[in-house]
Structure 1
Amino acid sequence: MRKLSRLLGIAALSLAAFACSSSSFAAGRQDFKVCWTIYAGWMPWGEAKTQGIVSKWAKKYGINVDVVQLNDYIESINQYTAGKFDGCAMTNMDALTIPAAGGVDTTALIVSDYSNGNDGVLVKGKGKKIADLKGQQINLVQFSVSHYLLARALESAGMSERDLKVVNTSDADIAAAFATPAVKQAVTWNPMLADLKAKPNVTEVFDSSKIPGEIMDMMVVNTKTLQENPALGKALTGAWFEMMTLMHATSADSTAAINAMAKASGTDLAGFKGQLSTTALFYTPKAALDFATSADLPRTMTRVAKFSFDHGLLGQGAPSANAIGMAFDNGVVIGSKSNVKLRFDPTYVRLAAEGKL
């Protein structure tokens, strides 16, 4: 699901995005498409479409918005980067290292949640600690949020990646790999994480609740499209928070919606609620706004940029972790001010918080 692409293809995607006709992002458009993939924090997009919430908000602003589910997460980001979609659900690190690194100016319209235990480091054996990883091999999706989590785990124990060997393993294969005697350590995310750590003789030595707010899930949109079509930002933001209100209610309609999301994600109600319990969703615009305007956000993204640069994810020509500029609330910019490609713009969430949508 939430894995990063390799550097292969970024240049091609950048050229494809540049080559898209100007009419693709022309002002005054009425039809828009955004995409998402299966993950607890993004299931509300699919249910909001099913419930007619997206179409209601789009109609309010005189536009049409199609919310499209894709089966492959990285392909969804690639298609967004190539200009096939106006918006896409992705993580903060993916937004930086794929579209932004590929030259596509991208705005985080809604930071919808952060992983609060959805990602974890597992070691076979009871009573294990991070220090037990020293000299070992560990399986994970290389250059992913799992890789980032491992780096943070090692840092917390005074270690680094030099102390072990990373074995690149796809998200589709990691559960099967961990089931073999040869693989004794792994990093992954839900729902695989929940299944693996429930097995006997497995210890979770670190999880994303230890680094709250660092692995974010977002709906991003093309900056130029948003600037020329503010109705898109208003419709998506309004629909999202109406869906959050429905999910957070104690009603038959809320239970039905959560049941539907559980089924769509391939689990039951208990399993989906378990995933939601480790997903710090911002159920109100005020909560999302507080996070998006916090002074912690630029600091977090500085850390993410350093990790990305150290692992060669900012592009072949990136001279430093500051190669790509990132803009935040109140005019704060980190990195290159002449190359701002990722923007955490709380404008529309603020409108929602103020009841102005």
Structure 2
Amino acid sequence: MKHIFKSTSKFLVATTLVIGLSTSALMAEVKNKFEVSWTIYVGFMPWDYAQQKGIVDKWAKKYDIEIDLVQVNDYIESINQYTAGKFDGCLMTNMDALTIPAAGGVDSTALIMGDFSNGNDGIILKGKKNLADIKGQSVNLVELSVSHYLLARGLESVGLSERDVKVINTSDADMVAAYSSSEVTALTPWNPQLSEIMGMKDANLVFDSSKIPGEIIDMLVLNTETMKDNPKFAKALTGAWFEVMALMKKGDKDALTFMSEASGTDLAGFKSQLDSTKMFYDASEAVEFAMGDALPATMKKVSEFSFDHGILGEGAPNAEFIGMEFPGGKTFGDTKNIKLRFDDTYIKMAAEGKL
């Protein structure tokens, strides 16, 4: 999955604390034009389809506003720009929402949790078939990313920890080439690199994200103040999303073909990636996921991992430094420092046909 937290972004977290606080105040106003940033990934492609086929425009016009979805080539850069106030919203994972905008002081809300990785991220061993065999090996992965988080969760499942391996920071673009090196024996890639490596000699998938369902979540995140002041913005985006979900649920070939080509693969390849992605095609499914007890528990794990790796924000004294708010009045962390919220208001409206 294209969910990367480069080490250079630590500097951004520190510098955006002040920027984030100021932009949050500046963005707190009624507007009629909005921009949302996104990057190519299987779970994000429905937004590109919605934009290109006029579905976003249709819903925006319904509420007398304008919405532009802007593609950014670099995933982390898209989140950095959102954090700095350039965009009103951005597509990102739950972990990155916590460690970049929230840790940078920008109050953000997950409007739509569209899917979670259900096999799109995995640990591969060369010539070995059991995860426990990873002990003592070097593991190539994108450091401080959800791949790093997946490794930590996998190690935990077999009684190991990161002390038992050595992490080698490797770009996602270099992952396939890295596997070809005789020195590389363990990797933690995401799709499409995961699938490509699995087709190579001696590659064994020993752990994947289906073993930790619901922990790597892809979300549409909005600036909280902008969302509060502009409910029409949230309604239009939610309506557009679930219109595309309805098409995908019934297997609309034109829609799926468009998404596959736009993401650089063929229809079979795109469907394969969808097979390892748990999409919430029905709004009622999204509501159930948002309301469940598993979400706060997951974010507690993510927060602890982020604190342990020094990416929860400058000066964070513990894993509860950043407060998070969930549906049903549930919270985690410092309730006086709520910077990440999971909202079910608009997905409930979609489920009830009230958009």
Q: TM-score when scaled to structure 1?
A: 0.97
Aligned 8 A contact 1:121 1:187 in 2: yes
How much has 1:62 moved relative to structure 2?
1.0
Output the amino acid matched with 1:103: G
Q: 1:229-255, CA deviations, whole angstroms, 9 ceiling, x for partnerless residues?
A: 0011100000000010011124xxx20
Is contact 1:123-1:185 (8 Å) kept?
A: yes
1:214 Cα deviation after fit:
0.4
Q: CA deviation at 1:5?
A: 3.4
TM-fit CA distance, 1:280:
0.3
Matching of residues 257-296 of structure 1 within 5 Å: 257-296=255-294
Q: Contact 1:37–1:89 (CA<8 Å) still a contact in 2? A: yes
Residues 24 and 106 of structure 2 are in contact (CA less than 8 Å); yes or no, is this contact kept in structure 1? no
Q: Which residue of 2 aligns with 1:161?
A: 162
Rounded Cα–Cα distance in structure 1 between residues aligned with 2:257 and 2:282: 21
Report the counterpart of residue 191 of structure 1 in structure 2.
192
Q: Provide the C-alpha distance between the structure 1 equivalents of 2:288 and 2:6, rounded to a whole number of angstroms.
A: 30
Unaligned runs of 5+ in 2: none
Q: What SS does the corresponding residue of 2:201 show, helix, strand or coil?
A: coil
* CA displacement at 1:21 relative to structure 2: 8.4
2:183 aligned residue? 182
Equivalent residue number for residue 121 of structure 2: 119
Counterpart in 2 of 1:10? 13
1:91 and 1:113 mapped to 2: Cα distance? 10
Cα distance in 2 for residues equivalent to 1:172 and 1:278: 21
Q: Which amino acid aligns with 2:40?
A: I
Match of 1:346 among 344, 347, 350: 344
Q: Which amino acid aligns with 2:4?
A: K
Deviations 1:304-333 (A, max 9, x none): 111111111112210100000000011111
Please tell me whether residue 137 in structure 1 is matched to residue 135 in structure 2: no
One-letter amino acid of the counterpart of residue 155, structure 2:
L
Q: 2:97 aligns with which of 89, 95, 98?
A: 95
Deviation at 1:15, TM superposition (A): 2.8
Alpha-carbon offset, residue 9 of structure 1: 1.4
Rounded to whole Å, the distance in 2 between the matches of 1:26 and 1:317 is 27
How far the C-alpha of 1:69 sits from its partner, in A, is: 1.0
Q: Which moved more, 1:3-12 or 1:214-223?
A: 3-12
- Specify whether residues 115 and 146 from structure 1 end up closer, same or farther in structure 2 by C-alpha distance, changes over 3 A only: same
- Give CA-to-partner distance per residue, 1:247-283, whole Å, 9 cap, x none: 1124xxx201111111111110100000010010000
Measured after TM superposition, the shift of residue 26 of structure 1 is 4.1
Answer whether contact 1:178 1:184 (CA < 8 A) is retained: yes
Gaps in structure 1 of 5+ consecutive residues? none
**Partners of 2:297 and 2:23 in 1: CA distance:** 34
How far has the Cα of 1:103 moved from its partner? 0.2
Q: Return the alpha-carbon distance in structure 2 between the equivalents of residues 21 and 342 of structure 1.
A: 13
Find runs of 4+ consecutive structure 1 residues off by over 3 angstroms.
18-22
Q: Which letter maps to 2:183?
A: A
The answer for the alignment partner of 1:309 in structure 2 is: 307
SS at match of 1:107: strand
CA distance in 2, matches of 1:97, 1:188: 20
How far 1:217 moved relative to its partner?
Answer: 0.3
* SS across alignment from 1:190: coil
Amino acid at match of 2:124: L
Q: What SS class does the counterpart of residue 156 from structure 2 fall into?
A: helix
What secondary structure is seen at the aligned counterpart in 2 of 1:9?
helix
Supply the AA of the counterpart residue of 2:32.
Q
Separation of aligned partners in 2, 1:277 and 1:13: 37
Amino acid at match of 1:246: L
Alpha-carbon distance in 2 for matches of 1:54, 1:316 = 37
SS in 1 for 2:61: helix
Q: Match for residue 54 of structure 2?
A: 52
Aligned to 1:320: 318
Other structure's SS at 1:342 match: strand
Match of 1:42 in 2: 44
TM-score (norm: length of structure 2): 0.97
CA RMSD, Structure 1 to Structure 2 (Å) = 1.1
Listed one character per residue, the Cα deviations across residues 118-170 of structure 1 (whole Å, up to 9, x for unaligned) are 000000115x2111111110100011000000000000000000011001111
Name the residue aligned to 2:73.
71
Q: Percent identity?
A: 58
Rounded to whole Å, the distance in 1 between the matches of 2:19 and 2:171 is 26
Q: Distance in 1 between matches of 2:35 and 2:314?
A: 31
Secondary structure at the aligned position of 1:300 is classed as helix
Structure 2 Cα separation of the partners of residues 21 and 155 of structure 1? 38
